[in-house]
Amino acid sequence: MKKRIVTIGREFGSGGRSVGRMVAQKLGVSFYDKELVRQISLKTGFHEDFIEQGEYAPIQSWMAYAFPASGVRNVMQGMSAEDFLWCMQCRVIRELAEREPCVIVGRCADYILRERMDCLNAFIHADMASRADRVVRLYGQAETSIERRLEDKDKKRRVYYKHYTGQEWGAAANYDVSLSTSALGLERCADIIVSLMQEELPEAGEIKGGAYDASN
Amino acid sequence: MKKRIVTIGREFGSGGRSVGRMVAQKLGVSFYDKELVRQISLKTGFHEDFIEQGEYAPIQSWMAYAFPASGVRNVMQGMSAEDFLWCMQCRVIRELAEREPCVIVGRCADYILRERMDCLNAFIHADMASRADRVVRLYGQAETSIERRLEDKDKKRRVYYKHYTGQEWGAAANYDVSLSTSALGLERCADIIVSLMQEELPEAGEIKGGAYDASN
């Protein structure tokens, strides 16, 4: 079957978002990244900055940073802000996937859409030196060392992903394809994903395409 | 630069070895799997079965299973059988990589050759149902459940890899490309690796191929 949706998980600074944008452009489909945050904001009443921070820091008291629109407390039904946001995020992502072919970056979309057979789940990463180089180019120097910032971001994404999915963030087994932008280049990573989206891929449950030759 | 060597790590039952053989055939280079075990056996005097088991069970007393050739104890220099085998394995793999372009399956070759810039490191995996299906076809039923056997093999490979490399087995970040044979099919996985081997790939240290567009 052909896939309709690409989800992209990524290490901070790996260029995963750029790869996602290239894939969406080449396929001529919608790209959900900031726009996804905006839609979740509309649904929840939370400020966009709060939602963006959320992906990095789930196990904190977020209320100090949140600016819920009037009435939002009434619909939270006793849930923590984090869990309410997660539920709304799941709903928005499922609705998007139902509505149109698209590329969705981050926010555990691979896990949220795990029941769908029409998703290609990709993970984008890069070596530490390349990520450091890229982040300094994009965001400039900061007071804390760049390696420290990267480790900190990775750790928070790992905790967030583990908390809500029960799975290990960045484990190859969670994705259909994982690619290093430092080893392959951004364009090549995008091209691999695009070509996979244009092919008939196997149905789940059986490994196809080679002889069963007593090797694994 | 073009890569000369492919290393393939793989989940048991994922078809990683078949993918490796296809890649070697398509590239016209040597394939080291059983042959690698034979060479390590020649170097160490250990029986081939013992060496093959080794990848699955490092933290056990192996001596009961080992059949060292006469004199081998003298060259072990006080090391455990496991550590001696690891040292010899490193030496054999480094010599192979120096000698000729090739595909090497398993045995932490990605880690052992980490200083070389001419290696493409791939990890091959598949979902549990597909691996179970494949293993039963290849090896038949056994007394223990198939899922139990797969988890057991995975666990032993994870422990072995962690023990000798300090890294997490199957973490996408350790590899240049990780592919699911159940999602993509064996041939398609092999084709992606072959095409990457035929291209000029970026040098390390910088993420190439896209605009620096304030996204990561």
Look up the pTM and report it: 0.87
Share of chain A above pLDDT 90, in %: 56
Give B184-209 pLDDT, tens digit per residue. 999 999 999 999 999 999 877 678 76
Q: Is A187 an 8 Å CB contact of chain B?
A: yes
Give B13-38 pLDDT, tens digit per residue. 999 999 999 999 999 999 998 888 88
- Do A172 and B170 lie within an 8 Å CB cutoff? yes
Q: Is B86 an 8 Å CB contact of chain A?
A: no
Please give the Cα distance from B86 to B187 (Å, whole number): 32
Please give the Cα distance from A81 to A145 (Å, whole number): 31
By Cβ distance, the residue of B129, B135, B185 closest to A216 is B135
* Set of chain B residues whose Cβ sits within 8 Å of the Cβ of A206: 130, 133-134, 182
DSSP helix/strand/coil, A70:
coil
Mean pLDDT confidence for A110-137: 94
A177-180 vs B177-180, strand pairing mode: antiparallel
Give B124-182 pLDDT, tens digit per residue. 999 999 999 999 888 887 777 888 889 998 999 999 999 999 999 999 999 999 999 99
- Do B173 and A170 lie within an 8 Å CB cutoff? yes
Nearest to B104 by CA among B188, B187, B40, B53: B40
Please give the Cα distance from B182 to B130 (Å, whole number): 6
- Do B207 and A216 lie within an 8 Å CB cutoff? no
Residue A128 has pLDDT above 80, yes or no: yes
What is the Cα A38 distance to its own chain's centre?
15
Shortest Cα distance, chain A CAs vs residue B122, angstroms: 10
Residue A56 has pLDDT above 60, yes or no: no
Of all helices (H) and strands (E), which one includes residue B130?
helix B128-139
Burial class (CB in 10 A: 0-12, 13-18, 19+), B145: exposed
Q: How does the average pLDDT of chain A come out, rounded?
A: 85
Query: pLDDT-based confidence at A74, cuts 50/70/90?
Result: low
Q: Is A140 an 8 Å CB contact of chain B?
A: no
Please give the Cα distance from B139 to B144 (Å, whole number): 13
Distances A214 to A6, A32, B15, B81, B204 between C-alpha atoms, Å = 34, 43, 10, 29, 37
Query: pLDDT-based confidence at B210, cuts 50/70/90?
Result: low
Tokens 């000729």, residue located: B100
Residue A67 has pLDDT above 80, yes or no: no
pLDDT of B211 reads 55
- Give, in degrees to the nearest 5, the angle at Cα B120 between B52 and B158: 40
Query: pLDDT-based confidence at A69, cuts 50/70/90?
Result: very low
* Set of chain A residues whose Cβ sits within 8 Å of the Cβ of B13: 216
* Set of chain A residues whose Cβ sits within 8 Å of the Cβ of B19: 210
pLDDT of B69 reads 46
More confident residue, B205 or B112: B112
